[in-house]
Chains A and B, each alone.
Chain A
Amino acid sequence: MLNTVFRLTQPRKIEIAFSEIDIFSGNVIVRPTYLSICNADQRYFQGTRDPKALAEKLPMALIHEAVGEVVYSPDKDFKPGDFVVMIPNTPVEKDEIIAENYLRSSKFRASGFDGFMQEYVSISADRLVKLPADINPAVASFTEIVSVSVHAISRFKRFSHERRETIGVWGDGNLSYITCVFLRKFFPDAKIYVFGVVPKKLSDFTFVDETYLTTEIPEDMKFDHAFECVGGNGSQIAINQIIDYIKPEGTISILGVSEYPVPINTRMVLEKGLRIFGSSRSGREDFVKTVEMYKEFPDIVEYLSHMVGYVKPVRSIKDMMEAFDLDINKSFGKTVMKWEK
């Protein structure tokens, strides 16, 4: 089947290309319905990735956060009409120890190959997770970034000591918000403190115990463990503040992406005996866990719905451009494309 693919050919330029989907390939065919824009997509779209990466990766269809409807399935687990979330990580091998999202051989949609800005997506059945039919589709569209938080928290449970009475979270953006929503569920008795820079954004964290501006942290602040959800130029300050305030033998989970190496206070890491671990992306089991939690705790979806900024119906390339422009001007939340193309 001839399939229309909407590829970024150069910054701010989306063009149509066609692929051939082999209906006998064994893959499930999904019609994308809601696509969520991630900062990584914006870096390609705005041309702020380094020129070498742009030259290597473009042309490429953007978007790695999307849900859709199954239209054809040779796999007995799926049938036409099923509402599914698509997993962008695409492993080509299995490893008993290393998770699929850390295998260097794995491919990732809208990074190594075409993302979900397509008329139809041909995708392996194991890259799909069924969603409840009545879930808010705009929220479901950014399940990928939610699963990244769930993945990091799952690892945190493996790596950290069991005294988890207080947890500090640095960052007042999307990833921090999602991480806090899930920390609240995973550790209902823990005190969760959030540290950020924008009072208006911090005021959205109504379900945590306290929020603080990073310039006004009480001197006697202490917590058992911490999550860094800042990234970029703020990584250095955030990580070093965490090192200053965390209790000995605490665990620091780093989630923020930084383009540059970050100097950190290793002396204090050693003196306090801290554990620092990184997480990136997610795999099938994280998506499955995330969807299970959507079902078990409907208030999660309600909290996440506060993140939905614009829902832009997209019927043309002009609409796609407008969606990316709406997204770049937002301060918080997610821009979702209602995919009618």
Chain B
Amino acid sequence: MIYAVIAAGGIGSRMGNVEKPKQYITLKDKPIIAHTVEKFYVNDCFKKIIILCPEQWVNHTKSIIKKHLPEDERVVVLQGGSTRNETIMNAIKFIEETDGLDDETIIVTHDAVRPFVSARIISENIEAALKYGATDTVVPATDTIVESQNGSVISNIPDRSKLYQGQTPQSFKAKLLKDLYYSLTEEEKDILTDACKIFSMKGYDVHLIDGEVHNIKITYPYDLRVAKALLDEEIK
């Protein structure tokens, strides 16, 4: 069984003066999250599409889904957790309680604020997760990345040719992810920035999937302007 897990946990704190969390901002007459969910909705590999959002936005999200997608019990809205990984664990818990969890259960986790994700990226995530167990969608780094231990001087400049920028989806064998996550100490959990790190910390390979430069994450007002510009050249 394959599940989409759409993480809509952000509360919009990085969005300047915009009032709503970024996933609810309108892009081309529709909330960003609706665009994102549609991309998973049209892929019938997914048994369910589980959307996780802050508690106070659950009903709002349900209303959006009802308005912008055909009625379908595959789409479920749940409350997220306190961190991204806790949010993913909520999704896994839901799967376990409703359909059961086995070694071949795959979750394709995706940011609600990346509506430009492509069919190819989603398909390749599914294929690679089934084959390898864990995937991360990336694009080669274009900027030189500078490391600084103290925030004032450079401590290292890694070789750019070996660096990639992480996007989503990240896809996993759900049971393995759950087992690994709960085997972590609290200190280990504290340094996690994403779920892929759980696998690499525990010595598992995470397979890379080619992302797309346009698979942008709409985090800042600038990103929203870029997204609107991408859509400005409407197709005739």
* Chain A residues within 8 Å of B, Cβ to Cβ: 1-2, 4-5, 16-20, 23-24, 29, 31, 60, 71-72, 74, 80-81, 113-114, 119-120, 315, 340-341
Q: How far is the CA of A74 from the CA of B70 in the complex (A)?
A: 9
Contact among A4, A24, A74, A120 for B42, CB-based, below 8 A:
A120
Residues of B within 8 A of A114 (CB): 235-236
User: Is B118 an interface position by the 8 A CB rule?
Assistant: yes
Q: How far is the CA of A315 from the CA of B35 in the complex (A)?
A: 22
Residue of A nearest to B39 (CB): A1
Q: Are B120 and A315 in contact (CB under 8 A)?
A: yes
Residues of A within 8 A of B35 (CB): 1-2
Answer whether A19 and B120 are a contact pair too, CB < 8 Å, given A1-B38, A2-B115.
no
Answer whether A18 and B116 are a contact pair too, CB < 8 Å, given A2-B28, A315-B210.
yes
Least Cβ distance of A66 to chain B in Å? 15
Stretch at the interface among B47-55, B199-207, B226-234: B226-234
Contact among B28, B41, B70, B210 for A20, CB-based, below 8 A:
B28
Answer whether A2 and B116 are a contact pair too, CB < 8 Å, given A16-B214, A72-B42, A113-B236.
yes
Q: How far is the CA of A81 from the CA of B45 in the complex (A)?
A: 10
Residue of A nearest to B236 (CB): A113
Contact among A20, A81, A341 for B118, CB-based, below 8 A:
A341
Give me 17 A-to-B residue pairs in the complex whose CB atoms sit less than 8 angstroms apart, sorted by A's number: A1-B38, A1-B39, A1-B42, A2-B28, A5-B235, A16-B214, A17-B233, A23-B41, A23-B42, A23-B68, A24-B70, A71-B43, A72-B41, A81-B44, A119-B120, A315-B120, A341-B120
Q: How far is the CA of A119 from the CA of B29 in the complex (A)?
A: 21
Q: How far is the CA of A20 from the CA of B231 in the complex (A)?
A: 8
Q: Are A119 and B235 in contact (CB under 8 A)?
A: no
A2-B35, A5-B235, A114-B236 known, 9 other contacts, Cβ within 8 Å: A1-B35, A1-B39, A16-B214, A23-B69, A29-B42, A31-B119, A120-B42, A120-B119, A341-B120
Q: How far is the CA of A336 from the CA of B73 in the complex (A)?
A: 38
Residue of A nearest to B232 (CB): A18
Q: Are B39 and A2 in contact (CB under 8 A)?
A: yes
Least Cβ distance of B168 to chain A in Å? 15
Contact among B44, B120, B236 for A80, CB-based, below 8 A:
B44
Residues of A within 8 A of B231 (CB): 2, 18, 20
B residues 118-140 with Cβ under 8 Å of A?
A: 118-120, 123
Q: Are A19 and B235 in contact (CB under 8 A)?
A: yes
Least Cβ distance of A79 to chain B in Å? 9
Residues of A within 8 A of B235 (CB): 5, 17-19, 114
Residue of B nearest to A81 (CB): B44
Least Cβ distance of A210 to chain B in Å? 48
Q: How far is the CA of A18 from the CA of B35 in the complex (A)?
A: 12
Residue of A nearest to B42 (CB): A71
Residue of B nearest to A72 (CB): B42
Residues of B within 8 A of A17 (CB): 233, 235
Answer whether A23 and B70 are a contact pair too, CB < 8 Å, given A2-B39, A119-B119.
yes
Residue of B nearest to A316 (CB): B210
Closest 5 CB pairs of A and B: A19-B235, A1-B38, A80-B44, A71-B42, A72-B42
Residues of A within 8 A of B116 (CB): 2, 4, 18
Q: Are A23 and B214 in contact (CB under 8 A)?
A: no
Q: How far is the CA of A291 from the CA of B116 in the complex (A)?
A: 35
Q: How far is the CA of A7 from the CA of B52 in the complex (A)?
A: 35
Residues of B within 8 A of A24 (CB): 70
Answer whether A340 and B120 are a contact pair too, CB < 8 Å, given A23-B69, A24-B70.
yes
Residues of A within 8 A of B38 (CB): 1-2, 23
Residues of A within 8 A of B233 (CB): 17-18
B residues 44-99 with Cβ under 8 Å of A?
A: 44, 68-70
Residues of B within 8 A of A18 (CB): 116, 230-231, 233, 235
Residues of B within 8 A of A2 (CB): 28, 35, 38-39, 115-116, 231
Least Cβ distance of B207 to chain A in Å? 16
Residues of B within 8 A of A72 (CB): 41-42
Q: How far is the CA of A18 from the CA of B28 in the complex (A)?
A: 11
Least Cβ distance of A315 to chain B in Å? 6
Q: How far is the CA of A18 from the CA of B44 in the complex (A)?
A: 22
Least Cβ distance of A38 to chain B in Å? 21
Least Cβ distance of A3 to chain B in Å? 8
Q: How far is the CA of A32 from the CA of B111 in the complex (A)?
A: 25
Residues of A within 8 A of B118 (CB): 4, 119, 341
Residue of A nearest to B35 (CB): A2
Q: How far is the CA of A23 from the CA of B71 in the complex (A)?
A: 12
Residues of A within 8 A of B30 (CB): 20
Residue of A nearest to B231 (CB): A18
Residues of A within 8 A of B115 (CB): 2
Q: How far is the CA of A80 from the CA of B42 in the complex (A)?
A: 9
